[in-house]
Amino acid sequence: MNTNTNFPHLLAPGQIGNLTLKNHVIMGPTETLYASSDGEVTRPIIDYYVRRAKGGAGLIVVHSAQGNTKIDPIDPYAGSLRIDDNAYIPMLSQLTEEVHRAGAKISIIVSPGGGAQSLGFPYDKGSQGVCDVSNVGPSEKQSMVAQRKVRKLTVDEIHKSVEAFGLCAGRAKVAGFDAFYIHAVGGYLISQFLTPYFNDREDEYGGSLENRMRFLLEIIASCQKHAGKDFPLIVRMSIDEFMGDAGRGIEESKQMGKMLEEAGVAAIDCSAGIFESMHMLIPPFYLPQGVLVPLAEAMKSTVNIPVITQGRLYEPQMAEDILADGKADFISLSRGWICEPDWVKKISEGDIKGLRKCITCNHCIGTRILNNLPLRCTFNPQAGRESERGARVKKTRAPKNIAIIGAGPAGLEAAYTLGKRGHIVDMYEASDKICGGQLLTASLPPAKDVLNYIPAFYAEQLSRLPNVNIHLNTPVSANNLNSISADVVLLATGANALIPNIPGIDNKNVYTAEEVLKGNADLSGKVVVAGGGQIGGETAHFLLEKGCEVSIIEMLPAILIKEELITMLTLLNILSTGGAQILTNTKISRFNEDSVEALNTQSGETLSVPCDHVVVAFGTKPENSLYQTLKTKFGDVRVIGDADVVGNIQTAIHSGFFAALDI
């Protein structure tokens, strides 16, 4: 175990206003959709945050609560928390009490609304599809993402919003929160007033920076009026909206920082982007770790109050160095805490190798929250299930001998969970390393090396379980089953490439994506990628980086349709700017030595796409050919992961986890 505990800046006590924190690590806000349909705190919310309080967070920031639902009538998501009425105080106080007992301080981030960007439904339930309820904003400008009509707020409504927001700060203080976060980030309502992109008002709330700041400054004054000037206020804001001249950039934000400091704000939390530049608001793995740190550094050069940084800061040493170099005063992780609820606890114990590090797949936000589904994590199947009896890892009273065939994500999570429960586990892997199959291939395209966090975590954790034995270079077949003794067998052999029967697919110039990514085929010149799913898109990116001229042919109306939204948009931009030709609604009919013949299924036009090489990426199919043989010998055989149903890393890990709980 790594015993290096040399993180003096991360683990030292910190100060925000009059609030003392036990360390410099903040759990940033991430929507969960665990609230009741009326926006009230629930037991799953409490258990979710208490778990991370026990994991050592210095300050927990509870996800976005709405503070003015009468004037901004659309929920930004379909299940936000609310704090716009005294009726919400009891359960909020239950949350703060339990988090305090678990050892953390707690804040809550509050918005007067989502404005033009709101993606949810009217708070007046049953209105959807019946009543024409508009989003609201500083102007009538619509969000390109929400694409909903917007009603311009009146000055009287702005004044009422300011008063309502201040009352929220008072409620938060009564409920026991230690600080109050003001949601001025990401193109929500306050942010829309701050940016010329949304704010084209000609009254005292638009135009100059002073006028665009007026709404926020009045909100701050209202919070101080209702909660007292000793109640720490933290403003979370986008320092650069990454909208070019249409939005707000760093220099103007630095001026805002000075104004916020003069207004009595205790700290500034430095984010980036709006929904139109969502790749900066929620950075995918295509952006470097620490991508937003320069924004905090710029703000810190301007203000004397604490500055908080964020943006893919999963590596403890990187976080420590940022603080040591004076680039920021506090580190905030959001997705990192979802994946690893013991982030600080493990660091303080020197267990760096034991961290379950976020792989930045954005399943939590892009796949779940943006589709109005409760928060889940690809890598941590227990995230959000802290209250579920069926998701608790309990010691077994009757240990069994379990054989797991295949050491991919599904098999590894099953082995890890079974090992913790006390079963005797033997894992058989055909290759010379764990995750030596599909996940190894998936980690090879540009920026995908982050997937190496998965085998690193399981290798470390399984090495600590003496009841788990991993047999590498040990393929299992009908010929060596007698060497296996097991009460239960889990078949986790993953999936194989799908190779359809298209004329010419056996040509010498046709390769699989796996062959190309693993370096078994060094391609150049014109390359056609047959299939525009995740594998095809990432392989096309790989080939563009090698200087190839790439065309993607996809039968469906769009490519990357199963990819998470933010990652998809980022990769689409990479492919487009890289010069990839994308042909959708196009069905391949033949592979030739110098071209691919295809049919546009909409126009009926036949196409001949010239190429030197072809890479087939038509997806995968389950590999479970051993099932019947295993069933005959062992009886209790369970198929998990892609060997059962082709999915992704998330479905594989969760499949392995729940299979292990059922034994």
Cα-Cα-Cα-Cα dihedral of 538, 542, 548, 553, to 10°?
-10
In sequence order, what DSSP letters do the residues of 31-75 get, joined into one string?
----S-TTS---HHHHHHHHHHHHTT-SEEEEEEEES-TTTS-B-
- 8 Å CB contact between 24 and 12: yes
Cross-strand pairs, 267: 234
Catalytic, 48? Answer no
> In 3-state terms, what secondary structure has residue 142?
coil
Across 478-491, b (16+ Cβ under 10 Å) vs e yields eeebeebebbbbbb
**Three-state DSSP class for 610?**
strand
Query: Following CA atoms 431, 435, 440, 446 in sequence, which dihedral angle do they give, to the nearest 10 degrees?
Result: -160
Q: What single letter denotes the amino acid at residue 512?
A: T
Instruction: Give the rounded distance of the alpha carbon of 188 from its chain centre.
Output: 19
SS3 9: helix
Beta bridge partners of 599: 587, 606
Nearest to 640 by CA among 387, 406, 459: 406
Cα 264 to Cα 192, 218, 235, 305: the distances in Å are 22, 12, 11, 9
In angstroms, the CA 492 to CA 640 distance is 5
Nearest to 26 by CA among 269, 264, 266, 229: 269
Residues 321 and 301: their CA atoms lie apart, in Å, by 17
Q: State the Cα–Cα distance between residues 599 and 311, nearest whole angstrom.
A: 44
CA distances 517 to 74, 285, 616, Å, are 46, 18, 12
Specify whether the CB–CB gap between 617 and 535 falls below 8 A: yes
CA distance 313 to 289: 6
Cα separations (Å) of 269 from 173, 274, 307, 316?
Answer: 20, 15, 6, 19
Scan for tokens 């009564």, then name that residue.
Answer: 174
Catalytic pick among 34, 49, 188, 205: 188
Q: How many CB atoms lie within 10 A of CB 329?
A: 21
CA 239-179-386 angle, to 5 degrees, is 95
Q: Which residues are designated catalytic?
A: 188
